Copies of this chain bind each other. A is one copy, B any other.
Amino acid sequence: MRIVALAGGIGGARFLRGLKDVTGPGDEITVIGNTGDDIHLFGLKVCPDLDTLMYTLGGGIHEEQGWGRADETWSIKGEMKAYGVGPEWFGLGDKDFATHIVRTQMLAAGYPLSAVTEALCERWQPGVRLLPMSDDRVETHVRITDESGTRAVHFQEYWVRLHAAVDAEAIIPVGADTAKPAPGVLEAIAAADVILLPPSNPVVSIGTVLAVPGIRQAVGSAAAPVVGLSPIIGGSPVRGMADKVLQAVGVDTTAEAVALHYGRKGAVRSASNEGGGGRRAGLLDGWLVDTADAASVAAVEAAGIPCRAVPLLMSDPEATAAMARAALDLAEQVRA
């Protein structure tokens, strides 16, 4: 079976580990990773979501933290402080730095990000084909208003430095409008047997992937069933501060609202204020909500999206594998 998943960082990576547990050697998993979180720090190209996916699936992640490397050292961070070179708010360990140094060197040598990612994965052997959503530079910015006035800050600054403590007024995937899907992205979607939307952030992770022209259309018109998993349980994000960015695009922080935000595959509706204009293709053939949100199943189904309530907390590998199994089961049901 050929499975395609769109994914952000921590949540997506953990879900994909569960997916690997319930698939076999005959299955092929292609992951289309968000690169809107990418940032240039210290002259180096840092791809937080791709690295979290690569480290998690390749066995190098810092498990408790969810990002960065296990058994990390922090010599460079101390040196940067001694040199007075910032930013200090973004944590890059020494081992992590090595990845960014290798990536930056390859990019400077002319390799596109997709080729660089493939080369890095030669080492990590993540067991999936990891593709960046695009080889073109896309950077998610967030419009905020604080004592410095109204301005757009890099997503990482909003998320990591400001901890999303101020309201996000708009999410702007800078560069997305002219970006092209990376080689293999559209082909993988077209050839997929199942397409999954893991419980990643629907706005700044999966939403950014979908903002690359061609990807939303490809998913929305794919022959394969598209099944998503709610990142919202009982009205709160399972992890992170997704409510802040959902609010920015006018979507309530509920499992039902996120389903309607993705939309029913085959439906076309006018775009929200997420950026880009015009009409937008719906995506979902199926949706999973947590058992805590069982009451919303009827409303989602009323919108034409088959929906099931199953446990969606990735509390351990078994629970995560069961979620992946449930997503694949729902895909088979809607296919039939």
Asked if A271 CB lies within 8 Å of chain B CBs, one says no
Instruction: Determine how close the nearest CB of chain B comes to the CB of A95; give it in whole angstroms.
Output: 5
| Chain B hits for A80, CB < 8 A | 98, 102
- Interfacial chain B residues near A76, Cβ < 8 Å: 94-95, 97-98, 101
Q: Check B108–A79 contact: CB distance below 8 A.
A: no
What residue of chain B has the Cβ atom nearest to residue A80's Cβ? Answer: B98
Contact between A42 and B101, CB atoms less than 8 A apart:
yes
Tallying the copies of this chain within the complex gives 2
Task: Please measure, in the bound complex, the distance between the C-alpha atom of A43 and the C-alpha atom of B108, giving whole angstroms.
Answer: 8
Q: Mask for A75-114, Cβ within 8 A of B = 1, else 0? A: 1101110111100000001110111011011001000000
Shortest CB-to-CB span from A87 to chain B, Å, is 12
B82 and A123 contact, CB distance less than 8 A: yes
**Residue A73 interfacial (CB < 8 Å):** yes
A332 within 8 A of B: no
CB proximity of A61 to chain B, nearest CB, Å: 15
**Closest chain B residue to A85 by CB distance?**
B102
A310 within 8 A of B: no
Q: Which residue of B lies closest to A105 (CB)?
A: B43
Q: Find residues 7-57 in chain A having any chain B CB closer than 8 Å to their own CB.
A: 42-44
User: Nearest Cβ in chain B — how far from A117, in angstroms?
Assistant: 13
With A73-B73, A75-B73, A75-B75 in contact, is A83–B102 under 8 Å at CB?
yes
Tell me, yes or no, whether A215 is within 8 Å of chain B by CB: no
Question: With A and B bound together, what is the CA distance between A120 and B108 in angstroms?
Answer: 25
B105 contacts A79, C-beta separation under 8 Å: no
- Enumerate chain B residues within 8 angstroms of A123, measured Cβ to Cβ: 82-84
A98 CB contact (under 8 Å) in B79, B98, B99, B120: B79
In the docked arrangement, what's the CA distance between A85 and B104, Å? 13
A94 touches B120 (CB 8 A): no
How far, in whole Å, are A108 and B44 apart by their CA atoms in the complex?
A: 11
Determine how close the nearest CB of chain B comes to the CB of A284; give it in whole angstroms: 39
Residue of B nearest to A75 (CB): B94
Q: CB < 8 Å: which of B85, B93, B95, B101 contacts A43? A: B101
| Chain B residues in 8 Å Cβ range of A44 | 101
Chain B residues positioned under 8 Å from A43 (CB to CB): 101, 104-105, 108
Asked if A63 is at the interface of the complex by the 8 Å CB criterion, the answer is: no
Shortest Cβ gap from A46 to chain B (Å) = 12
A188 to chain B, nearest CB (A): 25
Q: Pick 6 A–B contacts, CB within 8 A, sort by A.
A: A73-B94, A75-B75, A76-B101, A80-B102, A83-B102, A84-B123
Q: Identify the A interface with B (CB < 8 A).
A: 42-44, 72-73, 75-76, 78-80, 82-85, 93-95, 97-99, 101-102, 104-105, 108, 120, 122-123
9 further interface pairs, Cβ-Cβ under 8 Å (given A79-B99, A82-B123): A43-B108, A72-B75, A73-B73, A78-B95, A79-B94, A79-B98, A83-B98, A83-B120, A94-B94
Counting from the closest, the 9 A-B pairs by CB-CB distance are A79-B98, A43-B105, A75-B94, A94-B94, A76-B98, A73-B75, A73-B73, A75-B95, A42-B101
